[in-house]
Chains A and B, each alone.
Chain A
């Protein structure tokens, strides 16, 4: 089994869920931003640099349906952030040793 899948579902501008996730996740783990968590991945937002740093040793993705619900386009994301669908979410969860939900 591979590393932990971390999900974050809160806006980084309202709660520190993402900040804590970034502090406490290990290299090699996957961070998936869902629901209001996707707001962190907007290029030019104040979380951009933190995400870029995290992507030096972790993978960061966002859930596509939550992105589109919020009017954010894939080309407006921080470079290097991937987009997965519900099927990709299931796949990531199944592949990971466990799922940690930062709420």
Chain B
């Protein structure tokens, strides 16, 4: 585990939110997203990983008008504004579900170190990379 950075006002830890559930069949996805945004608002180092059925959370063009629930998928677009810069999606999970990378929401963040240029937030990673990402986290929360 890497040494957490010290800052005035407290220690910054590397939080990893692991999301493994589909978005509309239960509340896990919506609550996971809300907790991640709260963590980011408290200036923690927040990364999110989407795997197994969690990859469905990031599917583009979700429209819940006919099932009578809130369409929280629009809220993922706020991740960049909350300074979440790392959103990992597992390639193997996409492939076994027939979802292409181009079918994911085009999430972006503005890079303050590069003249606020908009950059893609989502990185598709393979199983081996994800193992390392999990290993490097200080705190892991599961939804």
Contact = CB atoms under 8 A, between A and B. Distances in A.
B23 A11 contact: no
Interface stretch (A19-27, A53-61, A69-77, A88-96): A69-77
Interface residues of B, number: 24
Nearest to A86: B66
Q: Specify the main secondary structure of chain A where it touches its partner.
A: loop
Interface string B84-128: 000000000000111100010000000000000000000000000
Interface of A: 9-11, 13-14, 35-36, 39, 42-46, 48, 64-66, 68-73, 76
Given A36-B53, A69-B69, A71-B60, 7 more contacts: A11-B22, A13-B52, A35-B24, A36-B24, A46-B98, A48-B98, A68-B62
Interface of B: 21-25, 52-53, 56, 59-67, 69, 73, 96-99, 103
